[in-house]
Structure 1
């Protein structure tokens, strides 16, 4: 399938071995974005698999989604990970029945034990690398029909790179910055930011603005680390992972709220969403900020009591309905049919007055068409329909990726619709999305992307 190049563990090992042959002994080999649910073996790779590629090079391979990884034996040794290593808070080092690490690492604290040993560029070098490579990345984003992006986990090197690109006139996309506030919450989210004017809504121009702070509660559904109230369908002892305690989360959200910084909280599982809403409720008691537009990122499993609480608190959603088509089958397997009523409930969001914008992520959900298709058909790659009653009309699905996204940014008066006085951001598709058969939506192609009235991308094929 077009989303997945390497289709088996053997394919991965072959690619890693080829890379090992090009490197000196002891040099790191880094890979990313495998999806075990799409591999022929239908399992997570282990250190023993990676050892087949090389035992003379430390190897680190990140899973799609960024919540899990696998390392070979040498990488684990360099990181000091053994049978005696205690489980890091808010994450997991998988161990076999004998107590030996398998190589699988779940969530940041565990992954960082290895990642901290990988040579990385200095902050100045990281900024330079991003500026140099941005034109190629931006062209790809424009080809997907994106006109505004909200970039998560922004640290100083990325923020400086975007400002440099803006000064050089090399920023065609509109970019919103979600400053990094991930655990252990040593990021930008302090009251110092608001004193410097760096609060939600601060902007260098209409091309570069501060959205807020990105926080994270849990993992992902496909890797079964999203934090649930009830166990995963085939793993009765597994309810996923919470990266933080409720107290830690509340402390950080209160701090952001008081500093005038919108929080964008990664919460996929229903239990993670409970934690996020409880923390937001406490924050809203501390300061009267009625139009804060705090939001849940993903919101993959949501029930009616949570929808009611979102409405009461004024919390909105950046929904990953784009996951439905490419990886919805793995979510159905993990959660079971009985939980599908709460799976990205797009119609219910609208019913409860919650503004749901559509986001992009990996797994083939990079561009809006995948999400629009998911909103309208609720179909997976294998043809399963996940909660048809939560489907919405095409025109409303388009709003999810246009006007609603602008609302989440606080820019609905400036963009999100095509009308006099607004920024002229729009795309041209090869077919009329309003009249074609819904099953054809997934095959739509972007012919042209226009930002500020300027054609910034034109399809040449």
Structure 2
């Protein structure tokens, strides 16, 4: 059956020139676009959708999400707006009073924006939590505030790397308490969180998300359930951040396979110490040899490999790992499967050019710069303003030949594709931003390339995957011809 979308402004992927365009209609049959042109020349159709002047453009792809965690943020404690240490303690106190003894989860606190410039101690958290387990991740999700009641559920935490009596937990200690918190979440709550997140993504014009799962994140059961979801929802491309066997349905052994941590939690691996903590250079979890082994194994199996990499020491280890892997499998085999690197915030022009030679995909998050860049942001606090100015060099990455794929890293930043595009264009470091067209392409076609698929254009023969917009409000999202979201304000059908 042919469906005709008519009376809109159809854009094939190049949105420059103020979002103008000549095409006003497109026809869809069996999930494929069969025709694009003017309404007057439209072919006959069994069904018609009147667009009433709305913009139709390729749907967005969010190339890095954590679906269940992002969904839980919608039902747990959203601490992204907390303006002080006291705000966090008040939120925990209120939740514990409402649901005593039930795990209280939350996310998004950022002490660098508070007048105290420090997070609560465990004693302060225990004073309001009592016997209720509490798990509150920092905005970068690489450290967490936890109550003693939660630590008691994960006794291995006490002897693990990253343990502290006073400070937020990091490294292995964080993994242990995260596992205990995860085990306390019911299967029903987990499934509801997934569904809530996916429906929200569809309402934002997102037709595909790349889930970055792993054994130390949401776990294998969560990953299987997410990939098995069906119905009018965005497509989920799953990446499993681990070595060894690839779970059924996983696109690759990639995503958040950690080479290091995050700058906000001071676990990103640096060549020089943190400016605000000169006693540490962060944490590097993998060396070049282990990185190379994974690249070789995945290249030989024809499977995408990939790593979470942020700090300049970690980037150096990854580049060295690619060089070692090249000696084993060669440049062609190494580049054939388009290995991925997530975040890639501290990278030189020479390193970018070398990674481009191996056809690496840079899965990056422009809103990191919008949130924490600039001469007075968190990056500048952690690194000093001069060092921070070189972070997230989007223009340089694109010029090097790397394929860019944009994501939110939800729940780290919200799923809001237009805000992501703006952040890429309006980079806080002069000269580091992209053109509008390049930023839009990175959030549409780039995501499909990153997953080894085609998409991101609206032309005859292309998948019928697009979103319909009135301003920046999505009124319909279509995936392979099927409507996965329809807003109340959309025109007649």
SS at 1:429 equivalent: strand
Spell out, residue by residue over 1:1-47, the C-alpha distance to the aligned partner (whole angstroms, 9 max, x if none): x983433222221222223234556x543333322233443322210
Aligned to 2:301: 259
**Alignment pair present for 1:52 and 2:127:** yes
Q: Which has the larger radius of gyration?
A: 2
**Alignment pair present for 1:232 and 2:277:** no
Structure 2 CA distance for aligned equivalents of residues 276 and 106 of structure 1: 22
SS at 2:420 equivalent: helix
Structure 1 CA distance for aligned equivalents of residues 393 and 419 of structure 2: 16
Q: How does 1:51-200 map to 2 (within 5 A)?
A: 51-76=126-151, 79-80=154-155, 86=159, 88=161, 92-94=162-164, 101-107=165-171, 109-118=172-181, 120=183, 126=187, 130-153=190-213, 155-162=219-226, 164-166=228-230, 170-181=231-242, 185=243, 189-190=244-245, 193=246
**Alignment pair present for 1:36 and 2:36:** no
SS at 1:317 equivalent: strand
Runs of 5+ unmatched residues, structure 1: 95-100, 204-208, 379-384, 432-443
Aligned to 2:386: 338
Structure 1 CA distance for aligned equivalents of residues 487 and 180 of structure 2: 42
Structure 2 CA distance for aligned equivalents of residues 132 and 337 of structure 1: 42
Aligned to 1:98: none
**Alignment pair present for 1:370 and 2:419:** yes
Structure 1 CA distance for aligned equivalents of residues 384 and 279 of structure 2: 15
Q: What is the CA distance between 1:313 and its match in structure 2?
A: 2.6
Structure 2 CA distance for aligned equivalents of residues 275 and 263 of structure 1: 15
Corresponding residue to 1:317 among 362, 367, 370: 362
Spell out, residue by residue over 1:388-443, the C-alpha distance to the aligned partner (whole angstroms, 9 max, x if none): 1112211111111111221111213xx11111111121223333xxxxxxxxxxxx
Distance of aligned partners of 1:226 and 1:133 in 2 relative to their CA distance in 1, 3 Å threshold: closer
Distance of aligned partners of 1:147 and 1:211 in 2 relative to their CA distance in 1, 3 Å threshold: farther
Q: What is the CA distance between 1:153 and its match in structure 2?
A: 1.0
Is this contact kept in 2: 1:325–1:370, CA < 8 A?
A: no
Q: What is the CA distance between 1:301 and its match in structure 2?
A: 1.2
Structure 2 CA distance for aligned equivalents of residues 163 and 86 of structure 1: 35
SS at 1:216 equivalent: coil
Aligned to 1:213: 254
Structure 2 CA distance for aligned equivalents of residues 393 and 314 of structure 1: 22
Distance of aligned partners of 1:319 and 1:163 in 2 relative to their CA distance in 1, 3 Å threshold: closer
SS at 2:166 equivalent: strand
Structure 1 CA distance for aligned equivalents of residues 155 and 117 of structure 2: 29
Q: How does 1:437-456 map to 2 (within 5 A)?
A: 444-456=472-484
Structure 2 CA distance for aligned equivalents of residues 146 and 270 of structure 1: 32
Aligned to 1:439: none
Spell out, residue by residue over 1:277-313, the C-alpha distance to the aligned partner (whole angstroms, 9 max, x if none): 2223323333352322111100111112211221233
Is this contact kept in 1: 2:270–2:314, CA < 8 A?
A: yes
Provide the TM-score with structure 2 as the length reference: 0.73
- Larger displacement relative to structure 2 (284-293 or 221-230): 284-293
Runs of 5+ unmatched residues, structure 2: 1-77
Is this contact kept in 2: 1:36–1:43, CA < 8 A?
A: yes
Corresponding residue to 1:423 among 463, 466, 491: 463
Q: What is the root-mean-square deviation in Å for CA atoms of aligned residues?
A: 2.9
Q: What is the CA distance between 1:230 and its match in structure 2?
A: 1.8
Aligned to 2:404: 356
SS at 2:239 equivalent: strand
Distance of aligned partners of 1:175 and 1:115 in 2 relative to their CA distance in 1, 3 Å threshold: closer
**Alignment pair present for 1:223 and 2:286:** no
Aligned to 1:299: 344
Is this contact kept in 2: 1:46–1:71, CA < 8 A?
A: no
SS at 1:102 equivalent: coil
Distance of aligned partners of 1:446 and 1:323 in 2 relative to their CA distance in 1, 3 Å threshold: farther
Aligned residues: 400
Q: What is the CA distance between 1:144 and its match in structure 2?
A: 1.8
Q: What is the CA distance between 1:242 and its match in structure 2?
A: 1.3
Q: Higher relative CO (CA 8 A, sep ≥ 6), structure 1 or 2?
A: 2
